[in-house]
Chain A
Amino acid sequence: MAQRLLEFLQRERPAALVETGSHVGDEIAVVHREHLVDVLTLLRDHADTKMNMLSDLTVVDYLGQQPRFEVVYQLYSIPHKHRLRIKVRIGDAQDECWVPTATGLWHAANWSEREAWDLYGVRFDGHPDLRRILMYEEFVGHPLRKDYPQNARQPLLRRPDAPATDDQTTRLLPDSHDRRVS
């Protein structure tokens, strides 16, 4: 059934696909970054696909390979009950490590993209509020990258160059009298 989805993509957006495949019953399509939002929009809105749920979004770090990161979107369609995995491969250079945001398509992308940024350091271009979500603001580095040691310890220390966790309270009201005197 989901094989039909891959055929659908090959028919509708042949230029966007890098490769397609399936493994243990899961269908996977790897797309180019510049076509990502186009493909996601098509899958969400087309009557044959209707992927109205972004089930999950995550990143896999293939350290030592090029391109290094793979951003993985798990899409699900409630009306058609089918599932598809979309992947984008990106490099780890500063100007390469980004993908366009999907927050305009699903609300679910907001927090999951923040998590991907927090833990993997992949930037989501156009995200309205890209900041850390699980780690604290003072944290240095991105812990789920394979080159971040598993047993590293980072105590919470104030850094002059980063916003403090406490400043989060005043985010909502920039000129509030509650703002701490720095």
Chain B
Amino acid sequence: MSAPTPTAPTAKSVAHTVAETYDPHTGRQAGEMPLSPSLQQFADEAERLPTDELILNMGPSHPAMHGTVRVVLRVDGETIKDADVQIGYLHRGFEKESEGATYTQIFPYVDRLNYVSPMLNNVGFAMAVEKLLGITAQIPERAEYIRVIVGEISRVCDHLTCITASLAELGGLTAFFWGNRAREHLWELLEDVSGARMTHSYCRIGGVAWDLTRDFDEKVRGKFVKVRGLITDIRKLVERNRIFLDRMQGVGTISADDALSYGFTGPCLRACGVAYDVRKDHPYSVYDHFDFEIPVADAGDNLARYLVRIEEMEQSLRIVEQALVQIPPGAVIVDDPLIALPAKREVYNSIEGMIAHFKHIMDGLRVPPGEAYSFTEGGNGELGFYIVADGSGRPYKNRCRPPCFYITAALRQMILGTNLADVVPIFGSINMIGGECDR
């Protein structure tokens, strides 16, 4: 029989002792040294300090807010009592500019909407015009596959940007560098295809600008091994990290009903448990040829959004790999002189080719009068284009439905009642892209 060991003081007993020795009149513990007169005066003044609610400006230029958005907060201590989210700092008049540009000239503008996944915007806009022209069924299959390949690579870039930027804001700078390295690998692929790192302008109405490079297949496989490795490294780095989990789990929660009412789409909606993905629900292009899953989480918080994006990257990589196996040979743009630009060989050697080229550049391709709403799955969700055509070479109206405009509208509700420090991870997890939100 061992002697009974003395029990260590528990937290409860300490609290009990502290409460017993507390003197409510002086506000001190018994036995505490009295303050010197000058310090006592300071302490008394601190007691009388007014504790008003405070107006605090976050943004539009703030190191932790990637994107120019201004959040005016009314805070009580650290708690957010009210917020006013103000956007528009990156408004460049996309719609107004579109009305004066030919349909082909709009592609560079579209690139600059969601500038982290420009290929997806390219595809979305091209499909809207093709819907109006009624040539959706005539797009060569190779062009459709190329669009899927570059689009899905873009989607991985988009999710990587969102995840790593918000990790950097939480202090995980290593994850940010690794994520950027992975994104750089993917951008090299897109640069190979389109000639530009970020704003590609690679799609054309009726197909894509030119074919893939000859060794694209091998390059993709090589790069994907590296990208997968880096994504796994990032996951190992953060997913069992206490700080990361504390800041992500249960923070920025939104219910599925609210999310639908706000018009959430994409990863943010799927993180609330609604499995809506345009690629599955309304398969466009050749998305019905692939075997892929739609990841869904049901918590609706930051962590759920992070997990959905991580899983979607893997699914996108799978789609690209399947597409590279299935891709048929053939043309990459419709064979219609009224829609596609003639080949340079034609332009320089035949009068018909030169005139067709001239008409394309000066007047633009003619779209019959009418209106269409076409929607695709962008990096942030449903990317819609509502085009009203009046029969000329320029759109009468070109409205972009920006997915993150509607998600940013819910930011106020998501940050109300949380701590000031939680604004940063919540804002990071909804992936607001200024160019797309403000157009």
Contacts and interface: CB of A to CB of B under 8 A. Distances in A.
A binds B: yes
Interface of A: 23-26, 52-56, 58, 60-61, 72, 74, 78, 81, 83, 85, 106-108, 110-112, 115, 119, 132-136, 143-144, 148, 150, 168-173, 176-178
A58 B261 contact: no
A38 to B, nearest CB: 19
- Tell me if A's interface is mostly helix, strand, loop or mixed: mixed
A140 B410 CA distance: 28
Interface string B37-66: 000000000000000111101000000000
A72 to B, nearest CB: 7
Contact of B370 (A23, A133, A173): A23
A172 B74 contact: yes
Interface stretch (B83-91, B222-230, B357-365): B83-91
B292 interface: no
Given A55-B384, A81-B281, A133 B88 contact: yes
Interface stretch (B94-102, B109-117, B154-162, B421-429): B94-102
A56 B134 contact: no
Nearest to B399: A58
Contacts of A55: 263, 375, 382, 384, 401
A126 B212 CA distance: 54
A132 B87 CA distance: 10
B91 A134 contact: yes
Given A58-B386, A60-B388, A133 B82 contact: no
A58 B401 CA distance: 9
B112 to A, nearest CB: 16
Interface residues of B, number: 54
A85 B396 CA distance: 18
11 contacts: A56-B386, A58-B399, A85-B373, A107-B409, A108-B261, A111-B406, A144-B95, A171-B72, A172-B73, A176-B52, A177-B52
Contacts, number: 119
A164 to B, nearest CB: 13
B372 interface: yes
A108 B403 CA distance: 11
Given A81-B282, A107-B410, 14 more contacts: A24-B372, A52-B260, A52-B261, A61-B397, A74-B386, A74-B401, A78-B260, A106-B261, A111-B409, A112-B405, A169-B55, A169-B72, A171-B84, A178-B55
Contacts of B132: 24
A123 to B, nearest CB: 19
A173 B55 contact: yes
B167 interface: no
A143 B72 contact: no
B318 interface: no
A113 to B, nearest CB: 11
Nearest to A28: B371
Contacts of B401: 55-56, 74
B276 interface: yes
B77 to A, nearest CB: 15
A6 B9 CA distance: 74
B262 interface: yes
